[in-house]
């Protein structure tokens, strides 16, 4: 039985055989710890009938563990140099398919319809390149895909921000954006020592369970997110100051004051103390005043 891809000695052999060099611009850090990979897959709760979508499979270390659990695995790889390596390392797994494309440009919904026919339970599972984590997550969450959830490894600091609760230092517009579409929990932290090359930061695995409907009712989703972004634009400023400077404009100071009063929110509070419900209430009132 061949050793798992993630075993350090096998990873080294694969990289040397193909003369592969890491590209910093693609944020390539490969995991060399099979136990951690298995844990990541376990957090996705896959069954024999599940489908898995992976982003950035590298040399196939996580892909291999997914293939052992899922009925079908489709992985998006942007780096052409990895395609021949993946063809070789994943040869034993006929139910794995690699698509050479940037996930941010991919039509994920039509891929699911085409490649995962008849599969009812689909999860996204990936070790994401750190430099594009947020755009990838927002794309997956906002496209209303037929997936149960997302389990991804990313920079620990970003994971903490995604799962943060109101009143904590990590809580911000990213927390609200992700939690509007999903329930977020950090399920595991991962030291930098289990990667090649070793990144400068620790990582964490986050699990996002997609919501069937948003936790708050809004008449204007776009405006709600504008209010949220404006409220966090300068973290030390009060909600009143942030809204005046970053949303309404100085000529509408009075309207901002009135809207805050009507929404029962003190003008001197800071954005990070407001719950999503309070932001929803505030955006509904502000929309009428501005």
**3-class DSSP state of 147:** coil
Q: Is 215 exposed, middle or buried (0-12, 13-18, 19+ CB in 10 A)?
A: middle
> How far is it, in rounded angstroms, from Cα 222 to Cα 200?
35
Structure tokens at 51: 């489908």
Domain 8-210 coded CATH 3.40.50.150: yes
Mean local confidence (pLDDT), 80-105: 95
- Is 31 among the annotated ligand-binding positions? yes
pLDDT tens digits, residue range 176-197? Answer: 999 999 999 999 999 999 988 8
**Mean pLDDT, range 96-108, rounded to an integer:** 96
Residue matched to tokens 């409220």: 231
pLDDT class of 137 with cuts at 50, 70, 90:
very high
Predicted confidence band at 1 (pLDDT cuts at 50, 70, 90)? low
Are 228 and 176 within 8 A, CB to CB? yes
**pLDDT digits over 237-271, tens only?**
999 999 999 987 878 888 899 999 999 999 999 99
pLDDT beyond 80 at 25: no
Residue 248 has a pLDDT of: 79
Residues of the chain with CATH 3.40.50.150: 8-210
Look over the chain and give the mean of its residue pLDDT values, rounded to a whole number: 93
Reply yes or no on whether the pLDDT at 40 is more than 70: yes
To the question of whether residue 246 is assigned a binding role by annotation, the answer is: no
- What are the tens digits of pLDDT across the range 71-83? 999 999 999 999 9
In the chain, residues under CATH classification 1.10.8.100 are 221-289
What pLDDT sits at residue 17?
A: 93
Q: What is the pLDDT of residues 156-178, one digit of tens each?
A: 999 999 999 999 999 999 999 99
User: CA–CA distance from 114 to each of 5, 8, 41, 118, 266 (Å)?
Assistant: 29, 36, 24, 10, 51
Q: What burial letters (b/e) apply to 239-265, b meaning 16+ CB within 10 Å?
A: bbbbbbebbbeeebeebbeebbeebeb
266 is in an annotated binding site: no
What is the torsion angle, in degrees rounded to the nearest 10, for the CA atoms of residue 35, residue 37, residue 39 and residue 43? 180
127 belongs to an annotated ligand binding site: yes
Q: Does domain 221-289 have CATH number 1.10.8.100?
A: yes
């Amino acid at each position: 039985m061949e050793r798992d891809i993630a075993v350090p000695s096998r990873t080294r052999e694969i990289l040397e055989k193909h003369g592969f060099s890491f590209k910093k611009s693609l944020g390539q850090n490969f995991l060399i710890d099979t136990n951690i990979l298995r844990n990541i897959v376990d957090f996705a709760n896959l069954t024999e009938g599940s489908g898995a979508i992976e982003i950035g499979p590298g040399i196939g270390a996580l892909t291999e563990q997914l293939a052992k659990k899922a009925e079908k695995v489709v992985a998006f790889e942007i780096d052409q140099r990895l395609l021949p390596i993946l063809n070789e390392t994943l040869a034993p797994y006929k139910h794995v398919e690699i698509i050479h494309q940037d996930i941010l440009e991919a039509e994920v919904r039509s891929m699911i319809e085409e490649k995962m026919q008849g599969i009812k339970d689909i999860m996204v599972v990936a070790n994401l390149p750190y430099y594009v984590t947020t755009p990838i997550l927002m794309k997956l969450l906002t496209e209303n895909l037929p997936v149960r959830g997302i389990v991804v490894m990313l920079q620990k600091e970003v994971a903490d921000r995604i799962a943060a609760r109101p009143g904590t230092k990590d809580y911000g517009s990213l927390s609200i954006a992700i939690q509007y579409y999903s329930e977020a929990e950090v399920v595991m932290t991962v030291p930098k020592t289990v990667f090649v090359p070793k990144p400068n930061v620790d990582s964490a695995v986050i699990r996002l369970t997609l919501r069937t409907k948003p936790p708050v009712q809004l008449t204007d989703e776009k405006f709600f997110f504008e209010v949220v972004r404006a409220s966090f634009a300068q973290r030390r400023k009060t909600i009143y100051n942030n809204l005046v400077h970053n949303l309404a404009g100085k000529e509408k100071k009075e309207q901002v004051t009135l809207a805050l009063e009507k929404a029962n929110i003190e003008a001197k509070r800071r954005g990070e103390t407001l719950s999503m419900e309070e932001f929803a209430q505030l955006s509904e009132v502000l929309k009428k005043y501005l």
